[in-house]
Homo-oligomer: A and B are copies of this chain.
Amino acid sequence: MFRSEITVVDCTVRDGGLMNKWQFSDQFVRHVYTALSESGVDYMEIGYLSSKSSFDRREYGPWRFCFEEELRRIIGDGDKSIKLSAMADIGRVEHDDIPPRSEGSLDLIRVACYVHQVDSAIALAEHCTDKGYETSINLMAVSTVGMRDLNEALEDLDKSRVPVVYLVDSFGAFYSEDIDALVTKYLERLPEKTIGIHCHNNQQLAFANTIAGIINGANYLDATMYGIGRGAGNCPLELLLSFLKNPKFDVRPLVKCIEEEIFPWARKFNWGYSVPYMVTGVLNQHPRTAMAHMESEHKERITEFYDRLSSAAD
Residues of A whose CB lies within 8 Å of any CB of B are: 175-177, 201, 203-209, 211-212, 215, 226, 236, 238-239, 242-243, 251-252, 255-256, 258-259, 263, 272-273, 275, 278, 282, 300-303, 306-307, 310
Question: Across the interface, do B303 and A243 meet the contact criterion of CB distance under 8 Å?
Answer: no
Q: Is there contact, CB below 8 Å, between A207 and B211?
A: no
Report yes or no: B275 in contact with A258, Cβ–Cβ below 8 A: yes
Among A177, A215, A239, residue most surrounded by chain B Cβ atoms (within 10 Å):
A239
- The majority secondary structure among interface residues of chain A is helix
- Tell me whether A303 and B208 are in contact (CB under 8 A): no
| Residue numbers in B under 8 Å from A215 (CB-CB) | 177
Given contacts A204-B204, A208-B208, A255-B303, 4 further A-B contacts (CB under 8 A): A175-B243, A203-B243, A259-B303, A263-B300
Question: How many copies make up the complex?
Answer: 2
Would you call A207 and B207 a contact (CB within 8 A)? no
- How far does the alpha carbon of A302 sit from the alpha carbon of B282 in the complex, in Å? 33
For the complex, give the distance between the alpha carbons of A90 and B282 in Å: 40
Q: Could you tell me if B275 and A212 are in contact, using CB atoms closer than 8 angstroms?
A: no
